[in-house]
């Protein structure tokens, strides 16, 4: 086994936020499940990554119970679950050690958020020498407000602001930034053949 699928932050925390109503890929669980099934059939390692912000009182605070995989995603015995507190899946976890112990050299990246934790993990993985495949339609993101936008606006106000970066723009930017530099960008269908 030299390949691993990383499932990054496909967790209930995100569904507890108001901006989930504007998520780019509400079917992400189904897309990720297809990747997991494909990886398991090939004998590849599946690594589950969760994001936690202990003591913050936010939806990412483990004390509130939302730092868990979304319904429909269940690790099987032998599949590691790591919890990170940084944007990438390496810095605050033992992920690199796990991958090294298993002889992993190639990674497939999926999860939430496309441009944040997924892209950052991809860049770090590439710098660490992994060959990375970024499965763009097995990621999801939300619109991003302009840096000068006032705090505390409703989702409707954010979406109405012409300076807000749309999910389509975010995904396209991520594809351009990663392809040929940090990863091969592909889709679930292209990767699995179905």
How much is the pLDDT for 28? 98
pTM above 0.85, yes or no: yes
d(CA 113, CA 191): 20
- What is residue 132's predicted lDDT score, i.e. its pLDDT? 98
| Host domain of residue 73 | 3-192
pLDDT at 21 over 80: yes
**Strand order from edge to edge, sheet including 184-186:** 81-84, 45-51, 3-8, 106-112, 131-140, 184-186
> Which pLDDT score, from 0 to 100, does residue 115 have?
97
| Ramachandran assignment for 182, one of left (phi > 0), alpha (psi -120 to 50 degrees), beta (any other) | alpha
In CATH, what number is assigned to the domain containing residue 148?
Answer: 3.40.50.850
Query: For 99-127, what is each residue's pLDDT tens digit?
Result: 999 999 999 999 999 999 999 999 999 99
Total domains, the chain:
1
Q: What are 126-148's pLDDT values in tens digits?
A: 999 999 999 999 999 999 999 99
For the chain, the average pLDDT equals 97
Cβ contact 86:55 at 8 Å: no
Question: Residue 96 — pLDDT band, cuts 50, 70, 90?
Answer: very high
């Amino acid at each position: 086994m030299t390949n691993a699928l990383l499932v990054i932050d496909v967790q209930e925390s995100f569904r507890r936020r108001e901006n989930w109503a504007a998520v780019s890929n509400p079917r992400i669980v189904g897309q990720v499940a297809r990747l997991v099934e494909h990886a398991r059939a090939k004998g590849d390692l599946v690594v589950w990554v969760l994001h936690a912000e202990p003591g913050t009182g936010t939806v990412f605070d483990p004390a509130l119970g939302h730092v868990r995989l979304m319904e429909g995603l269940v690790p099987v015995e032998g599949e590691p679950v790591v919890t990170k507190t940084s944007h990438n899946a390496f810095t605050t976890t033992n992920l690199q050690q796990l991958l090294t112990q298993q002889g992993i050299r190639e990674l497939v990246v999926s999860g939430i958020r496309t441009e944040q934790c997924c892209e950052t993990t991809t860049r770090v993985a590439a710098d660490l020498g992994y060959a990375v495949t970024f499965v763009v339609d097995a990621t999801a993101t939300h619109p991003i407000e302009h840096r000068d936008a006032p705090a505390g606006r409703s989702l409707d106000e954010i979406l109405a602001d012409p300076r807000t970066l749309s999910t389509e723009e975010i995904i396209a930017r991520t594809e351009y930034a990663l392809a040929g530099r940090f990863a091969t960008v592909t889709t679930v269908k292209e990767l699995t053949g179905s």
